A = this chain, B = another copy of it.
Amino acid sequence: MPRTDINDLQAFLAVARARSFTRAAAKLGVSQSALSHSLRGLEERLGVRLLNRTTRSVAPTEAGERLQRSIGPHFDGIDAELAALGELRAKPAGTIRLSATDYAANAILLPKLTVLLRRYPDIKVEISIDDRLVDIVADGFDAGVRDGEQVAKDMIAVRIGPDLRMAVVGAPAYFEKHPRPKQPQDLTAHNCINLRLPTRGSLYAWEFEKGRRKLNVRVDGQFASNHPGAMLNAALAGVGLAYVLEDVAKPHIERGRLQRVLQDWCPPFSGHHLYYPSRRQASPAFALVVEALRFSRA
């Protein structure tokens, strides 16, 4: 088999799985154009159309689906065997791909991983910043990081950070014009900065808890974003109230730029967790990453 074919088959599998040249390209670390050229060349050499594509949509043909089902496991097997080969070597190596929020990546992962990576030069870590809850198996990650202890089926959760709290904050200028909310229901009369995720149609409800009472409030407001940084900046600008992680807001609260309300309705909850598939065969490199990230109170 020509060497170009086997390379381009990998490209094909990535595109077929992602159903997008752009997403597959991002995953493989090449440009969308490179993948387009590769796939076109492969289809010409094989004499079979593997993908149907219009602008903005990609789907495998029948032949493409059959090929994906038949060779996909072989490629996965080769991947697994190469990973297992690492066990025979003196020093751990390999690339660990993680999905994490911006905050978790910067505040939790990087400080701990920097130490690890210095110690093990052949270990590589890729962190994909994504504030959604991604499907780490489907999207080809080794593990994901999220706040709280959401454990999906067949996932292992390892706590990697301390307890967290949410905070409802607003700028002093905002509170000069609006009464401070005393209970969560009051938020419905406020201009609340929303979190809108691309994959969710509805807006994100703010969650509150006091004693045994739990409230979810569907807030509304003039500004929404999919990025917490932008939301925080909007709050600082006096646009409205934001519902963000306490740690993120803390420096601004301490400097008087933001004021906190409804603090008693925001109890601490379990901190960030690393989650990964229980079936995953841990390479030595991955095991080291997990241990490096594990949270201990000492």
Contacts and interface: CB of A to CB of B under 8 A. Distances in A.
A74 interface: yes
B85 A48 contact: yes
Nearest to A45: B93
A34 to B, nearest CB: 11
A70 interface: yes
Contacts of A3: 7, 10
A82 B64 CA distance: 11
Interface in A63-80: 63, 66-67, 70-71, 74-75, 77-79
Contact of A9 (B5, B9, B78, B89): B78
One complex includes copies of this chain to the number of 2
A63 to B, nearest CB: 5
A5 B67 contact: no
A137 B81 CA distance: 24
Contacts of A211: none
A interface SS class: helix
A179 interface: no
A1 interface: yes
A77 B88 contact: no
Interface in A38-90: 46-48, 63, 66-67, 70-71, 74-75, 77-79, 81-82, 84-86, 88-90
B89 A48 contact: yes
A91 interface: yes
Nearest to A6: B6
A7 B3 CA distance: 6
A120 to B, nearest CB: 11
Contacts of A207: none
A63 B47 contact: no
Nearest to A90: B47
A206 to B, nearest CB: 43
A82 B7 contact: no
12 contacts: A1-B82, A5-B82, A46-B86, A46-B89, A47-B89, A47-B91, A47-B122, A66-B88, A67-B81, A70-B81, A71-B81, A75-B78
In the A-B complex, the 9 residue pairs with the closest CB atoms: A74-B74, A70-B81, A47-B89, A74-B77, A63-B88, A3-B7, A74-B78, A48-B89, A71-B81
Given A5-B82, A46-B86, 17 more contacts: A1-B10, A1-B78, A6-B7, A6-B10, A9-B82, A46-B85, A46-B89, A47-B91, A48-B85, A48-B89, A66-B85, A67-B81, A70-B84, A71-B77, A71-B78, A74-B74, A75-B78
